[in-house]
Amino acid sequence: AQSVTQLGSHVSVSEGALVLLRCNYSSSVPPYLFWYVQYPNQGLQLLLKYTSAATLVKGINGFEAEFKKSETSFHLTKPSAHMSDAAEYFCAVSATNTGFQKLVFGTGTRLLVSP
Amino acid sequence: GAGVSQSPSNKVTEKGKDVELRCDPISGHTALYWYRQSLGQGLEFLIYFQGNSAPDKSGLPSDRFSAERTGGSVSTLTIQRTQQEDSAVYLCASSYPGQQETQYFGPGTRLLVL
């Protein structure tokens, strides 16, 4: 079984500051890992994904995440926050040994960006 | 190309009524998923379709929920005898053959049961 824990339901940063959103996963098999972003009243947009290739994954809008097996983590970072980054972010995991890739989501982290 | 579309975008219904939610996946995507996003439960998997194969219904919360997919394309999620706890955003996603780990989500249908 897979699960994801996102630490911090809310994270506040100033514009231009580093963004760090934490995600730890649990999986009995090698996982696929994802970060999705959700803007108000919209669906989920894929930011980036880890599929067992490079451990440092670059995504859209300047975000990146690093897969650390020893720490079972997949934290999302961005060097400099923009006001437009304010949204809810979801980490998700799926198993690589199932016939389909059901996503198991974390509870989400709302990113607040102040001027 | 066009993304995943869902209709209606918002639905208000009375307790006990039936509702139908529609999803049009991206053209060429053979896999289709339904998820539910609610305040109490977060994002939950509901059901999965792959082409014309029998769906995986393991996430459906009760027998009031059902879904079908016609012609391997459009899907309808039906909730019978709606309850207030069914109020949520229902999200549909689809994925491409050979890249099923990447799901593309629609904007969702916001269901409110009064």
- Residue to mutate among A38, A44, A110, with most B CBs inside 10 A, is A44
What's chain B's average pLDDT? 92
Strands (E), B1-114: 5-7, 10-13, 19-24, 31-38, 42-50, 65-69, 75-79, 88-96, 99-105, 109-113
Residue B41 is predicted with a pLDDT of 78
Low-confidence stretches of chain B (pLDDT < 50) are none
Q: Which of B103, B106, B108 has the CB atom closest to A103's CB atom?
A: B103
Residue A36 is encoded by which pair of tokens? Answer: 């999705």
Q: Which residue has the higher pLDDT, A13 or A3?
A: A13
Flag whether pLDDT at A97 surpasses 70. Answer: no
Segment A16-34 shows an average pLDDT of 91
Contact residues for A52 (Cβ-Cβ < 8 A; gap 6+)? A30, A32, A96
At residue B58, φ and ψ (nearest 5 deg) are -65, -20
Cβ contact, residue pair A100, B91, below 8 Å: no
Flag whether pLDDT at A13 surpasses 70. Answer: yes
